[in-house]
Amino acid sequence: MLQYILSFIILISIVVFIHEYRHYYFAKKYKVGVTDFSIGFGKELFGFNDKDGTRWKICAIPLGGYVKFFGDSNSASQPMSLDKIDTKHHSKLLTTKPLYQRAIIVSAGPLANFILAIIIFSIIFMTTGKDTTVPVITEVQQNSPASKAGLKSNDQITFIDDKKIQSINDVALFISTSENDQVKIEVLRNQQPFSYLVKPEKKIIKDNFGNNIQRKLIGIKISPLKGKIERQKYGPSQALYLAIKETYNTIAMTLSYIGKMITGKESADQLGGPIKIAQISGKVAEHGLVPFLSIMAYISISLGLINLFPIPLLDGGHLFFYLIEFIRGKPLSENVQIYFYKFGMAVLFSLMFFATFNDLKSLGLF
């Protein structure tokens, strides 16, 4: 349990620091005052003031962080009224900066998370390589969708829904994210190509942590071809290309899942909170640095993406306000912004409660 907690704190702290530092960097670049740079929320555990008066601190609740700009009424960068601030300090306010500068400052955090993921993936692909293991069916369960469709043991899976299988991990991924009721699976059997349409079943199974999760299954077991795990190392340019592609695909799949969840095509039970992240980070840390860095990259992508949602209090909420300001030629009134901030707080607390409830339910506490 201690390893899970420590792994979670290290992972979240690094990802959050990168995110918040880019807010801080561009704020300083455009001469916006920064009063606080915090990793965590709640009571301050320790900290220091730099020469510019910014308080750098570590707080008791390691579930995020924030940069508080001069003139903000809270850690979500909700600005105070200009008439409450001495006019000689107006030049240090975020709200007085040109629209493009404010947009850059706010968007810098999420973009930094995507860049961090790309850097991590690039390093992994150059040093330990990218998984290129060829998947082979070793068992087809009786009366399963795969059996009814005609798949057999020793079939080498080559394509799923016309997407080339480049790793053994692609098989479960492409099946679970398929948009179709029937999944097209192409195989090599005795060096001859065959194609089958398989209708997956949705079943509740146990994940590696013993949690109940819903998955699309077709009733097969797969193993590496000739029992050999393959990894291919790439040069810097190819590794960077593959890292960008991996980051893009992760974002696309996440948005697809959220869209299906909103429309009722996917269960919201798969949403997880800090407990699930702690479980995952602790588990992968047992397998070494590379798996830990990999999960850090995926968490970094998730953090960047979530922060771009157009919900007040998040970076995306601020960008949404800036878009309205650009269209209208002037910002929303202070009262309207306050209303949206309250609405955003209600939405965020609801999402946090729901994710934590899912975590506890997966542990059998509900």
Residue 2 vs residues 21, 180, 244, 269, 357: alpha-carbon distances, Å: 28, 43, 34, 26, 22
- Residue whose entry in the numeric block shows the structure tokens 């240090």: 92
Burial 141-171 (b: 16+ CB within 10 A, else e): eeebbbbebbbeeebbbbbbeeeebeebebb
> Could you confirm whether 20 is annotated as catalytic?
yes
Cα 185 to Cα 195: distance, rounded to the nearest angstrom: 6
Which amino acid, residue 40?
G
* Pairwise CA distance, residues 32 & 105, whole Å: 10
Q: Hunting for tokens 């009424």 — which residue is that? A: 73
Residue from 20, 179, 230, 325 carrying the catalytic annotation: 20
Residue 251 CA from chain centroid, whole number: 8
Q: Which residues contact 318 (CB under 8 A, 6 or more apart)?
A: 77, 102, 106, 312
321 Cβ neighbours under 8 A, 6+ residues apart: 312, 331, 332, 337, 340
Closest to 216 (Cα-Cα) out of 250, 254, 265? 265
3-state secondary structure of 73: coil
The residues with which 69 forms a beta bridge, in sequence order, are 34
DSSP state of 79: B
H helix or E strand, kind and range, residue 159: strand 156-160
* CB contact at 8 A, 279 and 70: no
- Catalytic residue positions, numbered: 20
